[in-house]
């Protein structure tokens, strides 16, 4: 596909690029609908959308095994509650999680492709992705090549995503836009469209490393792009908020946007995720009515 075809797809989009209009639209949705979504059932649903994440330099086979055991133990201690959606780790720990995880409903997600900067050889990104899948990953989270994007090399951006999608084989590919670096609605819109047309199964806001994390304004633009793409192609793309989503109120706000923009059919952990480490205990505390430190 030529650069012209990418530009045609971007130019054909009706999604707003007006930052002030986005902020106003988000506020209107929250003012009208957020309060109704602070319910126990929605808190339980949100818990079931968490990609429980550890992405630290100090991660080790032992610490990741303990992290995974906490998910196994949750199943035993709280059988009446849904578990998290996935465990998200660095790619070299996919085999550790696969060996320890005893809960069939929880997927294994790995960051790959030179996370979090996406600055390495494409061959290395492909190899890392393939090795993560071979090690047991069901889902791969990669970062869009911001350097290519900001240079206007849309063909380079899209070719790389397509290659990495192929390397995930039957797994699902989440493309991280790093919206805190893209900053504007116009950039976020372009990056969303390019990612979807290149094979992304999910659009994800942020790495949580080095740039501002998820924002409601960015989510609004991404969701509008997902909605438009679905109307044009019939293909449903997932949405994942990540980076700083650490309390119940914020999680409910992302849920509210998804419900009002994308509709009920997106309110499943197949199409809606939150990447988090601290959120799990806080949501669990709000569900149970007392402080919890399970994870």
Structure tokens at 268: 């499943």
- Is 141 marked active-site? yes
> How does pLDDT run along the chain (295 residues), one tens digit per residue?
455 788 898 999 999 999 999 999 999 999 999 999 999 999 999 999 999 999 999 999 999 999 999 999 999 999 999 999 999 999 999 999 999 999 999 999 999 999 999 999 999 999 999 999 999 999 999 999 999 999 999 999 999 999 999 999 999 999 999 999 999 999 999 999 999 999 999 999 999 998 999 999 999 999 999 999 999 999 999 999 999 999 999 999 999 999 999 999 999 999 999 999 899 999 999 999 999 888 9
Does the annotation mark 249 as catalytic? no
pTM here is 0.96
Residue 1's pLDDT is what?
A: 46
Cα 20 to Cα 171: distance, rounded to the nearest angstrom: 37
DSSP strand pairing (139-143 vs 202-204): unpaired
Of the candidates 138, 141, 201, 217, the residue annotated as catalytic is 141
Catalytic site residue from 174, 189, 240, 259: 240
The catalytically annotated residue of 201, 204, 217, 286 is 204
Q: What are phi and psi of 59, to 5 degrees?
A: -55, 145
Question: What's the pLDDT score for residue 5?
Answer: 83
Q: Are 191 and 180 in contact (CB under 8 A)?
A: no
Q: Is 259 a catalytic residue?
A: no
- DSSP helix, strand, coil percent of the chain (3-state; round to 5): 55, 10, 35
């Amino acid at each position: 596909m030529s650069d012209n075809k990418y530009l045609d797809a971007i130019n054909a989009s009706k999604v707003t690029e007006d930052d002030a209009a986005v902020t106003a639209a988000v506020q209107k949705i929250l003012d009208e609908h957020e309060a109704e979504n602070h319910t126990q059932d929605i808190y339980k649903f949100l818990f079931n959308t968490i990609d429980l994440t550890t992405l630290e330099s100090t991660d080790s086979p032992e610490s990741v095994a303990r992290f995974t055991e906490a998910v196994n133990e949750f199943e035993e201690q709280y059988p009446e509650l849904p578990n998290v959606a996935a465990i998200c780790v660095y790619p070299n720990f996919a085999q550790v999680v696969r060996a320890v995880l005893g809960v069939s409903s929880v997927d294994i997600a790995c960051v790959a492709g030179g996370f979090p900067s996406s600055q390495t050889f494409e061959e290395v990104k492909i190899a890392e992705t393939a090795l993560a899948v071979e090690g047991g990953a069901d889902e791969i989270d990669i970062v869009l090549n911001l350097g290519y994007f900001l240079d206007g090399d849309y063909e380079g951006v899209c070719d790389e995503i397509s290659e990495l999608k192929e390397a995930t084989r039957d797994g699902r590919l989440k493309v991280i836009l790093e919206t805190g670096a893209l900053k504007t609605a116009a950039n976020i819109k372009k990056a969303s469209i390019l990612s979807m047309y290149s094979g992304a199964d999910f659009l994800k806001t942020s790495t949580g490393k080095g740039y501002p994390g998820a924002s409601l304004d960015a989510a609004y633009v991404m969701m509008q792009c997902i909605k438009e793409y679905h109307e044009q192609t019939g293909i449903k793309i997932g949405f994942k908020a990540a980076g700083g989503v650490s309390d119940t109120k914020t999680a409910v706000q992302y849920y509210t946007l998804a419900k009002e923009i994308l509709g009920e059919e997106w309110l499943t952990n197949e199409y809606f995720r939150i990447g988090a480490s601290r959120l799990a205990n806080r949501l669990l505390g709000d569900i149970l009515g007392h402080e919890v430190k399970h994870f």
